[in-house]
Structure 1
Amino acid sequence: MTTRTARCFCGDYAVTLEGDPLLVSSCCCTRCQRRTGSFFGVTAYFRPSQMVARSGEERTFRLDDATTRFRQCARCGTSVWYAPDDDGWGEDILGVAGGCFADPTLPGPHRMTHAATGHPFVTSPKGVPVYEDGPPE
């Protein structure tokens, strides 16, 4: 079974997950752009039972109008993983920032969402479905 560790920028906080992600998704919404400081975000979705370890000190962040709680490194502030309070995902899934794995074996995105707010030079890998708004239900 594959084991992957996602770490923050300074290396003080990490989460370890077993198995492959259920889904890897790229998102060009402006919230993901601001959250990551990049032109898009990449999230690898896992079941909570796949998280087998956490190390380091975390802090929790949530925007006033949002239901997702972001778990960040208490030292450098990197958002490493996040889960909803209750926004339709249910309690059976969590997201891990794809870049925090720094692992070229992490599967590529299965889709790209919110392309309507993406920068014109950001493109999806060949054959990956692109959605102008959110993902299909």
Structure 2
Amino acid sequence: MLSRRASCGCGQLQIEIHGEPLGVGVCHCLACQQRTGSVFAALAAFAVPYTVFGTATDYVRTGDQGARFRFRFCPVCGTNLFHTEEEVDQESVAVAVGGFADPDFPAPQDSVYTCRRHSWVQLPAGITIFDKDPV
């Protein structure tokens, strides 16, 4: 089975996942823009189990539709590496695509909160676009 490891900028926090992504997407919501310091977040969801190496600092944020997300950051370099959704079966983990440092990582299949996309951001052809969160 394919195994991948994503890391924060300094290498102190890492996550190892197995298998292909359940999905890859980008989010343009304002919270993701602020959280990443970029104009969107690129995330890949993977099935459990996963293994974390190092120490993480947690931050819980409530989304627009009431879901609570627990974000894990490296306390040394500040990289937001992965998150899970609270109050649901912990069947998956979302990992920041940039943490894999792999230019050949699969492209996103969907884009959410496109209503908040910066006008100059171009999306890949064939991507499924949602104005907001489709949940």
Same fold (TM over 0.5): yes
Deviation at 1:11, TM superposition (A): 1.4
Aligned residue pair count: 131
Deviation at 1:9, TM superposition (A): 1.3
Deviation at 1:105, TM superposition (A): 2.8
Query: What stretches of structure 1 of length at least 5 have no aligned partner?
Result: none
Deviation by residue 1:12-36 (Cα, 9 ceiling, x = unmatched): 1111111111000111111111111
Partners in 1 of 2:75 and 2:81 — Cα distance? 11
The residue number in structure 2 matching 1:129 is 128
Query: What stretches of structure 2 of length at least 5 have no aligned partner?
Result: none
The residue number in structure 1 matching 2:57 is 59
Please list every run of at least 4 consecutive aligned residues from structure 1 whose deviation after the TM superposition is greater than 6 angstroms: none
Partners in 2 of 1:133 and 1:71 — Cα distance? 24
Contact 2:58 2:73 in 1 (8 A): yes
Partners in 2 of 1:15 and 1:102 — Cα distance? 13
The residue number in structure 2 matching 1:70 is 71
CA RMSD of aligned residues (A): 1.5
SS of equivalent to 1:54? strand
Deviation at 1:90, TM superposition (A): 3.3
Partners in 1 of 2:52 and 2:35 — Cα distance? 21
SS of equivalent to 2:99? helix
Partners in 1 of 2:33 and 2:84 — Cα distance? 18
Q: Map of 1:1-137 to 2, 5 A cutoff?
A: 1-49=1-49, 51=50, 53-63=51-61, 65=62, 67-86=68-87, 90-135=89-134, 137=135
Contact 1:44 1:97 in 2 (8 A): yes
- The one-letter amino acid paired with 2:76 is R
Partners in 1 of 2:25 and 2:69 — Cα distance? 17
- The one-letter amino acid paired with 1:41 is A
Partners in 1 of 2:29 and 2:72 — Cα distance? 20
Contact 2:82 2:96 in 1 (8 A): yes
Q: TM-score, normalised by structure 2?
A: 0.89
Q: TM-score, normalised by structure 1?
A: 0.88
Partners in 1 of 2:113 and 2:126 — Cα distance? 17
